[in-house]
Amino acid sequence: MTIANQPESAPLITRRAGRLGLPPLDNYFAEAWHYRVFAYHWSRADLKSRNFETLLGRVWLVLNPFLYGLIYFVFIGIIGGGGLGSTTQLAFIVGNLYIWSFFSGTISTGAGSIQGGAGGILAQSAIPRIILPFASTLTSAQLFFRSMLAYVPLHIVANRGFHIEMLWIPVLVVLTGLFGFGLALLMAVLNMYFRDVSRLLPHMLRLWLYLSPAIWVYTTVGGDTTLDTLARLNPAYSMMTAWTIALGGPLAETPDITSQIMITATWAVAVLIIGFMIFVSREDDFVVRN
């Protein structure tokens, strides 16, 4: 006996992989989009679990990069002989460290989002696992926007000025997030096969920070020597150079910010595509290896 006006069942979304190990991408994107609200609330829960919704948590969110910036400022002022009286130098370092915290936080939290804890349980469910590193990216973005509000007074006190290059900031935020998200997908896969990746990653990111123009000015490697060329091949060089110009304005003989953004976009899109394809093609292995 049939029941009248019975609602049609939802279309079945298949996850059967093709020759490259990838499911039908149109179905996969549709299924991932269906869980977008879940990703948002998962991110909110992550913030609460890390006490960033409390008063002290919010204060520490602002103070942590600032204290690191102060340490680097003192270190560079003493070693470099530039003195400790430049608030512009302090604002430059602190502003770049806030941005680097967004980038590195996206990578490190996304890399560990699949393994262990509640994320490990969800990785064994039927939801698209890419939702978990995406939620971690949302968490890092929320933390970044809150911390940058605290940077504004320092920017004004340091007299870094307001200029046309600041209009590129929304574009740079998106590109930085995409770049970090793509790397997070790659690191999440590596972390499933080699569990020590999550322990090595903070040290690797710190070394990458020292090799990037975050605590030192990009004009330091403006020559044509082999070391200067290698420094500019660093994927984060153009990203941090563009951020420095966007926040502080162009320096003398500075590269064009548009060209630096185009290079950053190339890296971000390439890493995102590669990271997505590797992550999705290996996604079914997560249940076995987690």
Q: Which residue, among 141, 130, 140, has the nearest Cα to 39 in the 3D structure?
A: 130
Q: Which helix (H) or strand (E) holds 10?
A: none
Q: Which amino acid is at 25?
A: L
pLDDT at 22: 73
Sign of CA dihedral 54, 55, 61, 67: negative
Give the whole-number percent of the chain exceeding pLDDT 90. 23
pLDDT at 50: 65
Give the pair of three-digit tokens for residue 66. Answer: 């600032």
For residues 226 and 240, the model is more confident at 240
Query: What is d(CA 137, CA 173) in angstroms, rounded to the nearest whole number?
Result: 12
Query: What is d(CA 95, CA 225) in angstroms, rounded to the nearest whole number?
Result: 29
- Find the DSSP H helices in the chain: 25-34, 36-49, 55-79, 87-111, 117-122, 131-157, 169-193, 197-211, 226-232, 235-248, 257-281, 286-289
CA angle 135, 145, 239 (to 5 degrees): 85
Q: Give the pLDDT band of residue 18 (cuts 50, 70, 90).
A: very low
Average pLDDT over the chain reads 79
- Give Cβ neighbours of residue 67 (< 8 Å, ≥ 6 apart): none
- Give Cβ neighbours of residue 17 (< 8 Å, ≥ 6 apart): 23, 281, 284
Sign of CA dihedral 191, 194, 199, 203: negative
| Contact predicate 128/23, CB 8 Å | no
- Give Cβ neighbours of residue 33 (< 8 Å, ≥ 6 apart): none
Backbone torsions φ then ψ of 98, nearest 5 degrees? -60, -45
pLDDT at 64: 72
Q: How does 203-230 read in b/e, with b if 16+ C-beta sit within 10 Å?
A: eebeebbeebbbbbbbeebeeeeeeeee
Q: Give the pLDDT band of residue 266 (cuts 50, 70, 90).
A: very high
Q: Give the pLDDT band of residue 44 (cuts 50, 70, 90).
A: confident
Q: Give the pLDDT band of residue 121 (cuts 50, 70, 90).
A: low
Q: Which of 10-14, 105-109, 222-226 bottoms out in mean pLDDT, i.e. has the lowest?
A: 10-14
Read off the pLDDT of residues 153-194 as tens digits, 9 standing for 90 and up.
Answer: 888 888 888 889 899 999 999 999 999 999 999 998 888 888
pLDDT at 72: 74
Read off the pLDDT of residues 254-264 as tens digits, 9 standing for 90 and up.
Answer: 788 899 999 99
Q: Which residue, among 183, 188, 242, has the nearest Cα to 214 in the 3D structure?
A: 242
pLDDT at 122: 59
pLDDT at 208: 93
Q: Is the pLDDT of residue 8 over 60?
A: no
The model's pTM: 0.82
3-state secondary structure of 228: helix
Give the whole-number percent of the chain exceeding pLDDT 70. 77
At what angle are helices 257-281 and 235-248 packed, to 10 degrees?
A: 130
> DSSP letters along 203-225, please?
HHHHHHHHHTTTSS-GGGG-S-S
